[in-house]
Chains A and B, each alone.
Chain A
Amino acid sequence: MHDVSATQVTDEHKAPTGFIRKYVFSLDHKVIGKQYFGLALVAVFVGMVLSWLLRIHLAYPTWPIPLLGKFSAAGAPGGVMTPEYYLSLLTMHGTLMVFFVLTNAPFAAFGNYFLPIQIGAEDMAFPRFNMMSFWTTFAAFVVMMASFFVADGPPISGWTAYAPLSAVGGDAGPGLAMGQNLWAISIALFCVASLLGALNFIATTLDLRTKGMSLARMPYSTWAWFVTSVIALLAFAVLLPACILLILDRVGGTSFFIPAGLILSDKLQPHSGGSPLLWQHLFWFFGHPEVYIAILPSIGIIATILPVFVRKPLLGPRALIGSMVAIAFLSYMVWGHHMFVSGMNPFSANLFSVPTLIITIPATILTLLLTASIYGGRMRFDTPALFCLGFISVFISGGISGFYLAQPSLDTYLHATYFVVAHFHFVMAVASLFGVFAGTYFWFPKMFGRMMNETLGKVHFWLTFLGVYCVFMPMHYLGLVGNVRRYSAFVDDYLAPLIPVHKFITIAALLTGAAQLIFFWNLIWSRFRGPVASVNPWQATSLEWSTTSPPPFDNFGAHHPVVQNGPNEYGVEAPDGTDYVMQMAPREGV
C-alpha cells in the first residue's frame, strides 16, 4: 500500500525543469497565480493611462495630446479626442478594470497562489484546467486589446454593452463593427476562463483540505475566495449565454436584443421584436454579483491581514463568514437596481430596492466587525496595516452613497450623474484595489522571498489614500448638482461653471496615478534588491507562513501539514512567549 502511494507521489510531484513548463504553460498554481498578477498589472497600467486621458479631456477638452493623435488619427485628430473616441476609451477603461483587474487580481491571482497553501494542499484540484483558465484569460486580454488596432477602434457602448447599441453593428457608430465583435468574443472567452477557475477553486476547497483543516479553521481569505468562486460560477454562467446571444444578434442576424423598426444611418435595420431590456437583465444578473466578485476577496484579504497587525483575534468570525455568505446570496436578488431608469416596471423597482437595502445589513456587520476588532489591539502600522485601515475608510465612504442609490426615487435623479461614478469607484474599485495593495505588501515576501520597501510603501499609501479622496469625493457634489456622466466635455452648457472642479479632479487623478508608479517601482526593486524574507516575517498564523518563502513546488515539501488550531489565535500567551499560535502548532496535551 505504501509503495503504491509512494510511486504515485513521485509521478505526480516532479517539479518541471524545462523553461516552458516551468514558467509559461505551468501547472503550478503558484506560477499561475503570479501570471494572473502580472496580467492584472499590465491591465491596470493600461486602464490607468486611459483614465488619465479621459480626465485630461474632461478638464481640458481642447488640449491636444500629441501621442494620442499618433496612436489614433481618426479617434483623436491632432491629438484632441472626438466625443466618440472618448466613449471608446471609456469602454476600454471600464472593461479592462472590471474584468482584467478587479476580477483577476484579488480573486484569480491571490486566490490561485494562496488558496491551496492556506488549506494545506499541494496544488489545485485540476491543475490542467487551471493552466487553461489563465491562458484563456490571456487570450481574452489579447482579443480585447486588439480592438484598439482595428479600423474604427474600440466599441463606444460602455463596459455594460447596452443593447441595441452593442447589437446592431457598424451603422450605429464607431467601434460598433469589428471593435464590438472583439469585445463580445473577449468577454465570452473571459467567461469560460472564469468558469474553469471557479470550478477549480470550489473543488479544491471542498476536496483538498488537509487533515484538521475543517471549514471553521479556514482563514477568512480562503472563505472569501470560496464564496466568491461560487458567485463567479453562477454569474459567469449567465454572462456567457448573454454574450452568445449578443454575438448571434451581431453576426447571425437574430433579433434577441434588437427591436423592430430601428433606423440607423438612414438604414432600416433588418431586425424585429427583440428586447433591449433583456440584455440588461442578463447582463446585470451577472453584473451585480460581479461587484461582489471584485470586493469579497478583498474583504477576506483584509480580514486575514488586519488581525496580524492588530495582534488580537477578529471579532465574530462566524458572523463575518455568515455575512459574506449572506452577501453572496443576496447579490442574486438585486440586479434590477441598476435598471431603475431603464424603463422597467416601477413596481419591480421597489421589489429590487428592498433586497438592495437589506444587503447593507451584512455589509455593515462586516465593516463594524473589522473596525471594532481594532479596538484594544496593539496596532503595528506596517504598510499592509495602513492599507487595511484605508480599505475600511473607502469601503464606508463608498458604501454610504449606496444607501441613497438603492432607492428608486433618489436614483432616478442621481443615476446618470457623477454621484454613481463616485459610488462605484469608491466601494468597488478603490476598496477592492486597497485589498490588492494590502495583499501585495503582505504576501510579497511569501511569493518572491523578499520584503517590499516599507518607506516607499508608506509613501505610496498616503499619496494613494489622500489621492483617491481628492479624485472621488468631489464627484459626489458634481452628481448632486446634476453633472451627467458619460459626456466627453462640459464646455458650453449649464455645466461649464463646474469645470474648475473637473480640473481639480483631473490634477488629483494624474498625481494619484503617478503615485502608483512608486508601487510599480517598489515591486521591481524589491523583487531583486529587497531584504530576504524570513519564513514568517509578520508573525501570522495561517499555513502559508509555515513553509519557505517562496514555498517549494509542492508547497510543504513532501509533507502534509496537520492543522491543530484556528486561524485567529492572536493576542494569546503562547508557550514560547510569543503572542500568537500558528495553525500547525501542536496543541498542548495533544
Chain B
Amino acid sequence: MTILTRLEQWKEQGTISPEQHAHLAALSRGNPFSLFLELNVLHYAGVLAFVAGLGWTVSTWSQQLSDVLVLTILSTILAASFWYCFSRAPVWSPAETPAPSLIFDYVLYLGSLIWSLELAYLENRFHVLSGQWDFYLLASAGLFFFLAYRFDNRFVLSLGLSSLAGWFGLTISHWPAHQDGTYRQYALLYCLLVGVGGALLQRRGLKPHFFGTYLNIVANLLFWALLSGVFNRQGYGLWFLGLLIACGASLAWGLVRQHFAFVAYAAVYGYVGVSSIFLRGVHDQTAVLGYFVVTGVAMLVVLVQIGRRFGRPA
C-alpha cells in the first residue's frame, strides 16, 4: 500500500481531515517541491568559492597590487556584509530565531571569512603583532561568538569554536619546550572551558539549541586528547582512567537524551583505547586476532541490546 493509498484510507476513516489529506497527498507527490536545501547549498558553495578565489588572488598578487587597494576592497566587502546583517537582523532573542532571509546567514558567513582574510593580510604585510597570531585568533573567536549569538548562526559559531582551539594551539607553539603532553592538557582545558561555557549558556536560556554543537565538538576533542594520552608508552594510567570516565559519561548522556552519536563515540573511542591497553606488548598473532574476534562480537551483542532497549529509528 503506497503512502497515497494510506492517506486516502486515513481520510475515509476520519483520522485526518480532507484538508490535511489534500495537503499531505500533494506533499507526497512533490507538489510543491521544496528547493530550500539546494538553494542553501548553492549559497554556501558560492560564498566559499568567492572567498577562496579572493584569498588566492590576494596571496598571489599582493606585491603587485597596492596594499591600499587590497585593504579597501576587503574592508568594503566586510563593511557591506556587516552593515547588511546589522540593518536586516530582527530584534535579538535568546531563543532560536529564524534568519530574516535565505541569504542572511551566508552574508554573515562571508563577512566572517573576509574578516579572517583581512587580518591575515594585515599581519603578513605589516607584521603588526610581530607574528603573534594567537591574539588575532583570540580576537576573531570573540567576534565570531558575538556574531553567532547575535544572529543565531551555527556556521559562525563553529568558526568561533575552531578559532578558539587555534588560539590554544598557537599559544603553546610559541613556548620554547612545548611537548605533546602540553597540547593534551590544553586540549582538556579547552574542552572544560567550552563545555562549561556551553552548559552555562544553555542553562541561562541563551540560544540553548547551540548546546549540541558545543557538545559534539568538545566530545570529539576530549576523546582525541585522552586517546593520545592512552597511546603513551609511560604514564598512561590516568589518561586511561579519564577515557573510561568520559566513555561512561558519553554513553549515559547518549542513552538518557537519546542522542546516539554519543553512544557511538563511547563505543568507538572506548574500544580503540581499551584495545591499545590490552594489546600492548602482545605480539602473538593468534592472540591479537582472537582478541578482535571476541571483542568485536561482544561489542556487537552489547550494541544490539542497547539498540533494542533504548534505540529509535532516526
Q: Say if A and B assemble together.
A: no
